[in-house]
Structure 1
Amino acid sequence: MKDILTKVNRNDGMTVPDGYFEDFAKRMAASLPQQEWEKPEPKVLPRSIWQRMRPYVYLAAMFMGVWCMMKMFDLMRTDSYGLSIENDPVLTAAIENDHFINDYFINEGDVDDYQLMEDLYQTGFDPTEYDEMLNEDSSDTAASMPDSPEFPLSEI
């Protein structure tokens, strides 16, 4: 029972030719594709100016975005300097004037054009200054405004 295969004289066909495994490693290495670590190092091209400056441009854009966002938050505050009425002397004077509030906001339907012009003259309105200002701006506005029946350009 010790050498059962020799007793049976069984040959299973699993044999290799003589000297097959002597140069097996060399033949196997030659038949395999080139490995990743054996590839030559790729040639590195020099970076362009934009590729070098791009991180700094992106950083500057990010900071500008943060600054704009903070500016908007500052303008939306109720105690913001730019949006408060107390910082505008003309609006403050108009709101403090009871005559102005009563005539132009509460009873706005009772004010006619003549009364409005009289009030403007009493406060120091000079129509010649307005005409001069309108004549200076009329060349710019006349070119940009379309001529329509409601607002003819000849009356400007």
Structure 2
Amino acid sequence: MKKLFMLLMVVLMVSALAACSEEDKNTENEAEKNDSTETTDGATSEEIENEYYNNVVEILKDEGYEVTNITAGDIDFFTDTKTSFAAEVNGEDMLTLQMFEIDPNSEHLKNAKETGMGQAEYEGEVAEIPVLVVGNYFVFMAEGHPNQPDIYKLLQEKLK
């Protein structure tokens, strides 16, 4: 009788665990379906209020680059930033193109024009980061982006 009771308890536990497992799989599948259908491209170039940033997006698109997920950037990243925007170029979501409008009277802008290094602050740490300076704008794109050298060259030529 003890063996029968133990066998019955084991079968009951296994069936309960199997039922719970099926519910988790269904919940995960529903979450994956929701994630795959929700894609956002951020703002379009028409929604960017800064005409200079619109021009940058148009230059890139005219050269055949795919520009998506256009968002407002972090104005607290570089010292003396007035406005900022970020965008994915050719689907590189971890290596976005970021542009920062810097106060034209900033000492940090003058220093960056001479050295190519912009003063950035992140979580209380201050560091010099390599940037492309065009007028009073910093252009930043991580060196790991496959199109970074070409994009920098293009922007230098077109934004003079």
What TM-score, normalized to structure 2? 0.32
Q: Which has the larger radius of gyration?
A: 1
Q: In proportion to residue count, which structure has more helix? A: 1
Structure with the bigger RCO (C-alpha within 8 Å, sep 6+) is 2
What TM-score, normalized to structure 1? 0.33
Q: In proportion to residue count, which structure has more strand? A: 2
